[in-house]
Structure 1
Amino acid sequence: MSFSLSRLVVALGAGLLACAAQAAEVQVAVAANFTAPMKDIASQFEKDTGHKVITSFGPTGGFYSQIQNGAPFEVFLAADDTTPEKLEKEGGTVAGSRFTYAVGKLVLWSAKPGYVDDQGAVLKKNAFKHLSIANPKTAPYGAAAVQVLAKLGLTEATKSKLVEGASIAQAHQFVATGNAELGFVALSQVYKDGKLTGGSGWNVPGDLYEPIRQDAVILTKGKDNPAAQALVDYLKGPKATEVIKAYGYGLQ
C-alpha cells in the first residue's frame, strides 16, 4: 500500500470514529396522540444527525408515573403542559428546556363516511350506542372530551354510552374497529395534509375545551446526552414543524 493511500485510509477511519463518537441514542417518552408525526420526525432526525431515537408511546399520566419510578426516559413529549411543568417544579427536568412543541386539536370522528356531520349534530341526536373517549384522568384529550360534553349539556345524556380507552390511541382504536360508532380523538390520528384520512368527522371548536398545549422537556437523565438536546432543537426547526402542521396541530 502506498504512503498516500495509507494516509487516506487512516483519515477515513478517523473520520468514521469521530462520527461514531458524536452519534448517540436518546430515550423518548411520547404522548400517544403524537405517534404518527413523531415516527416521521424521528426518521428524518436520525438521517440528518446520525443520532438514534428510541421511542415509547403512551398516555401522559402513565409516563409521569413511570418517570417518577425511575424510567430511563431522557426527553418527554407530553399531551399537555401541566405534566412537564409539574416535573419541572419537582426538579426532574433540565432547567429552561421546556417548550410547547404543538397545540392539539380535538375531533369527533367515526370510521363510517357520512356518519358524523360537520356541525356535530350527531351528538345531540344521541342515536348511537357507544361514544369513545380517552381516560379523562390520565389523558388530556379525554379531559377535553369531557369538557365538550359538559359545555354542550350532554354529560348526563351520554354518560351510559361512554367507552373509555386507557389512552387516546385506544380510544381511536375503539372507533376504528367499530366497537364504538364514534369518538373524540386527536385530529392528528385521522388527518394529514389538509384532509381526513378516512371516515367522517367534526372539528370541535376550540372554545368548547381548554387549549391542549403539548410541552416537551429534557428530563434529568438526559442532561448530559447531546442527542437529547439535539432532538429538542430539531423539534423547533423547520423540518419538524412542517410535519407537525401537516398532522393538523397548531404551533405556539
Structure 2
Amino acid sequence: MGQCAALAFVILLSLTGRASSEDGDDSLMTPLRIAVAANFKPVVDELAEAFSSSRKISISSGSTGALTAQIKNGAPYDIFLAADVQRPEYLEKLGLTRMRQTYAFGRLAFWHPSMRPVGTADLTELSTSIAIANPRHAPYGRAAEHLLVITGNYKSKRIKGNNVAQAFSFVQTGNVDAGLVALSQLRHKDIEKKAYWVIPADLHPPIEQQAVIMRDANKIAESFLLFMGSTQARRIIQDAGYTLVNNLD
C-alpha cells in the first residue's frame, strides 16, 4: 500500500470515527478476536489497550503458517495480522476474507549478547549456533535463512524455533548464543543496542506484513484496522521497530 492508499486510509478513519458501545449495535458488545504473528503480539497488546479500555479483545499469537492452518480449519477469528503477504493472499483466494491490506514492514536484527555485532562480517564469521524462526512457517525465518546464505555463513548450526518468539527465547535464556530475531522484540524487552545489529532492509526479502478481516467477522474489525491507520497507532507501530507503509522511499 503506497502513500496515496495510506492517505485514503486515514481519511476513511476520520469519516468513520472510533467505534464505541454507545452506537447501539449488538456487534459492538461481542469480543473482538485477533490472531497475530508472534513478532507483532506485543504491539497488538498495546494497540488493543489504546483502541478500547472497555471492549474485550481476545488475542492469539503464533507463527503465520500455524495461524493460517487454524483459520483454514475454521478457527473463529475476526482479524488475522500476518507476518507476510502470501498467507493473507491464500486465505483471500479461499474466499475466507473480506478485506486485505499491508499494515507494516518488519525489521530483522542480529542479536549476540556477548559479541556486540556491527556488520555482515560478524555473521559470516559466526561459528556458534544461531537461533532463527522456522523458515517453513515463519516469514522472519525465511528472511533469516536468506541472510545467512548471502553472507556466506555455512558454519553455524541453525536452531529453529516454531516462530520468531521462540527463536528469541532461545537466546534470551542462554540456550543459544545468537539469533536473528525481530527488532520489535529487542525493543520490547529493552535489550541494549550494543548487543544487536539491525539488518539493512536490502539484505533480505521485504518482510511485508498484511492483515485480513475474515469473511464472517464482527463489523468492529473494520474499526480496529482503521484505528491502526491513525496517528496514535502508527506512532506505536513505528516506535516498536517497524517501518510504516508510506515510509519506504
TM above 0.5, one fold? yes
**SS of 1:180's equivalent?**
coil
**How far apart are the structure 2 equivalents of 1:191 and 1:18?**
37
- Residues 1:169 and 2:175 aligned together: no
**SS of 1:64's equivalent?**
helix
Match of 1:136 in 2: 135
Match of 1:62 in 2: 66
Cα deviations by residue, 1:162-214 (Å, 9 ceiling, x for unpaired): 10000100000001011111100011000269x85566111111111110000
Contact 2:123 2:151 in 1 (8 A): no
User: Is there any run of 5+ residues in structure 1 with no aligned partner, and where?
Assistant: 1-15
**SS of 2:60's equivalent?**
strand
2:107 to 93, 101, 105: 105
Contact 1:116 1:122 in 2 (8 A): no
- Residues 1:206 and 2:201 aligned together: yes
Larger radius of gyration: 1
**How far apart are the structure 2 equivalents of 1:247 and 1:217?**
21
Q: Structure 1 pair 51/82, CA: closer, same or farther in 2 (3 Å)?
A: same
Q: Structure 1 pair 185/209, CA: closer, same or farther in 2 (3 Å)?
A: same
Contact 1:60 1:138 in 2 (8 A): yes
**How far apart are the structure 1 equivalents of 2:73 and 2:180?**
31
Contact 2:140 2:181 in 1 (8 A): yes
**How far apart are the structure 1 equivalents of 2:62 and 2:105?**
18
Match of 1:226 in 2: 219
Match of 1:240 in 2: 233
Contact 2:110 2:117 in 1 (8 A): no
**SS of 2:110's equivalent?**
strand
**How far apart are the structure 1 equivalents of 2:214 and 2:38?**
19
**SS of 1:153's equivalent?**
coil
Match of 1:125 in 2: 125
**SS of 2:90's equivalent?**
helix
User: Is there any run of 5+ residues in structure 2 with no aligned partner, and where?
Assistant: 1-20
Identity, in percent, stands at: 38
Contact 1:23 1:227 in 2 (8 A): no
Match of 1:116 in 2: 116
Letter in 2 for 1:42: A
Q: Structure 1 pair 182/245, CA: closer, same or farther in 2 (3 Å)?
A: same
Contact 1:108 1:116 in 2 (8 A): no
Contact 2:184 2:242 in 1 (8 A): yes
Letter in 2 for 1:119: G
TM-score normalized by the length of structure 1: 0.83
1:33 to 28, 39, 52: 39
**How far apart are the structure 2 equivalents of 1:53 and 1:247?**
20
Match of 2:16 in 1: none
Cα deviations by residue, 1:17-65 (Å, 9 ceiling, x for unpaired): 8668443311110000001111110111122xx4321100100000111
Letter in 2 for 1:231: F
Cα deviations by residue, 1:43-96 (Å, 9 ceiling, x for unpaired): 11122xx432110010000011101111011110000011101111111100xx
Letter in 2 for 1:38: V
Contact 2:134 2:141 in 1 (8 A): yes
